[in-house]
Amino acid sequence: MIKCNLAVVMAKKKVNKQAELHRKTLIRKNTISNLYNDIAVSISFQDLDAICEALDCDISDLLERVSNPPQDKDN
């Protein structure tokens, strides 16, 4: 699964408010919130690029692939 580390990157870059990232990127507030809380199911390349530009980071700082949790065999 893909994990979004936007909250961590924002903290490192001292961007304390999601609204500040919204103002820098013009990305919808709901989209930023979903990424920040790691509940987003998709994101556009354009939005990823804007976030990387605003936070002066690489895409690998924002996203990482982690192992999927084990599946319950009863379901």
Q: Give domain status of residue 31, yes or no.
A: yes
Q: What is the pTM of this model?
A: 0.86
In a domain, residue 25? The reply is yes
Domain for residue 17, yes or no?
Answer: yes
Domain containing residue 24: CATH number: 1.10.260.40
The structural domain count of the chain equals 1
Flag whether pLDDT at 75 surpasses 70: no
Task: Show the domain range for 20.
Answer: 2-65
List helix spans (H) across the chain.
6-12, 18-25, 29-36, 45-55, 59-62
pLDDT tens digit sequence for 37-66: 999 999 999 999 999 999 999 999 999 999
Any domain includes 15: yes
Q: How many other C-beta atoms lie within 10 A of the C-beta of residue 40?
A: 17
